[in-house]
Structure 1
């Protein structure tokens, strides 16, 4: 099992500090700058099946503008699980407040190391699948 040095753990923590600050300001275009597209998304429909999609930058910006465009306050505890020096799965326990409404959630992000540093490439979170085609098996 890969054991990251403290500097790698700190670099992931710093990446999320930056991302959360952007979300707090509703800076969706800048949030998109921290991703690799197409961005994979795994989710579900409450009471229904899982759903998967690959978002373009435009789809990410449109959807996240609706979700946090006015800004979102986040309180979170993140646990990174390094698969290698260049791949990390981060499990987040969060409370997000948007427009005075607080929601608690658990989600996972897959970050990949690029030439520019960390970028997120996959998001997994329940409840975003409304209107999507359900997941299919090959």
Structure 2
């Protein structure tokens, strides 16, 4: 872990920094392929922040504890994603050496149906390595109350 104070400096990641993020996502993708939701939860910092939008046209936010994450993702992933063809292009944007926002453009093909999506994750460096702390993706807010200001 870096000790220097870079709060007021733009951080430019090196090859090692980028490789660490690629390795983290390779592990995540392998776990997702197996449907290993408990192990995926081990890669997170809870409470986990989520931001999405609602069918009514507004943003929505919530936090999940580990139990909620495991319940929802078990429903979403079922037995894993191995039977899906997934292609992802990830663009990490390091805010500091310890915070990276990763934008993903993905195409998923399942049962002959192709869907493209864009989402982002905020990863934070912890004593145990990188972990995701915030997930941002449109379309999850069915039944969620719209966000309100103040």
TM-score normalised to structure 1 length: 0.94
1:105-124 alignment, distance < 5 Å? 105-124=117-136
1:80-119 alignment, distance < 5 Å? 80-97=92-109, 101-119=113-131
The residue number in structure 1 matching 2:6 is none
The alpha carbon displacement at 1:100 in A equals: 5.7
CA-to-partner distance for each residue in 1:29-87, whole Å, 9 max, x for gaps?
Answer: 11111000000000012342110000111111111111112212331000000000000
Which of 1 and 2 has greater Rg?
2
1:36-55 alignment, distance < 5 Å? 36-55=45-64
The residue number in structure 1 matching 2:88 is 76
Q: Is the 8 A contact 1:26 1:71 kept in 2?
A: yes
After the TM superposition, which segments of 4 or more aligned residues of structure 1 sit over 6 Å from their partners?
Answer: none
C-alpha distance in 2, partners of 1:30/1:99?
Answer: 26
- What root-mean-square deviation, in Å, do the aligned CA atoms of Structure 1 and Structure 2 show? 1.4
Aligned counterpart in structure 2 of residue 10 of structure 1, from 19, 42, 48: 19
The residue number in structure 2 matching 1:34 is 43
TM-score normalised to structure 2 length: 0.87
> Unaligned stretches of 5+ in structure 1?
none
> Unaligned stretches of 5+ in structure 2?
1-9
